[in-house]
Chain A
């Protein structure tokens, strides 16, 4: 099976702009979670989508939002970008069966805000 894919891989934006990142999960996986990775804060959970519904949300401001489509692909959007939003954004997919908890990460999108 193909792994989790993310597009674009690199992005440079200026403060105040907005950005949309995309994640395609492993075929058959219905859950997509998003994480922000920075050197200072490490890996932090943003939100999780399952069957097109947001199921969990982390402690990030409302500028961070997401959605999931019927084919399980997910997008996240960050509006009014700030310098502190510069990070590696990772998505992870999970089958989410009764006994399956494993999450598999995509390669990430490196966002630089100038």
Chain B
């Protein structure tokens, strides 16, 4: 089955700086890549996603890039704010298949 890995496990950034989280996947058939943000004690929240026919997608301060050849995708958060502090999970699945394979998560800490 699909195996998704995330690096680094913990990321500390100064407020206003950028944060980048990278994920790699193993199954070349995967074509849907969502990112979830989970604050302490809360549900995972879908923040952005990308499909394999697109190389980059942006939504305000967050963006996701996908490199199908290298089988990796990354989350970019610009102008970080304290409310960006959370655990971020990447995931992958194949079209029409709701079986999401998740990475282990990255703890992002934004230092005011």
Contacts and interface: CB of A to CB of B under 8 A. Distances in A.
Interface of A: 4, 31, 33, 35, 42-45, 48, 50, 55-56, 58-59, 90, 92, 94, 96, 101-108
B95 interface: yes
B69 interface: no
A105 to B, nearest CB: 4
B93 interface: yes
A107 B42 contact: yes
Nearest to A31: B98
24 contacts: A35-B102, A42-B103, A42-B104, A42-B105, A43-B100, A45-B101, A48-B98, A48-B99, A50-B98, A55-B98, A59-B1, A90-B44, A92-B100, A94-B98, A101-B34, A101-B95, A101-B98, A102-B34, A102-B46, A103-B34, A105-B44, A105-B46, A106-B43, A107-B43
Contacts, number: 61
A101 B104 contact: no
B66 to A, nearest CB: 14
For chain A, what secondary structure do more than half of its interface residues adopt (helix, strand, loop), or is it mixed? strand
- Which of under 10, 10 to 19, 20 to 34, or 35 or more describes the interface residues of B? 20 to 34
Interface of B: 1, 32, 34, 36, 42-46, 49, 51, 89, 91, 93, 95, 97-105
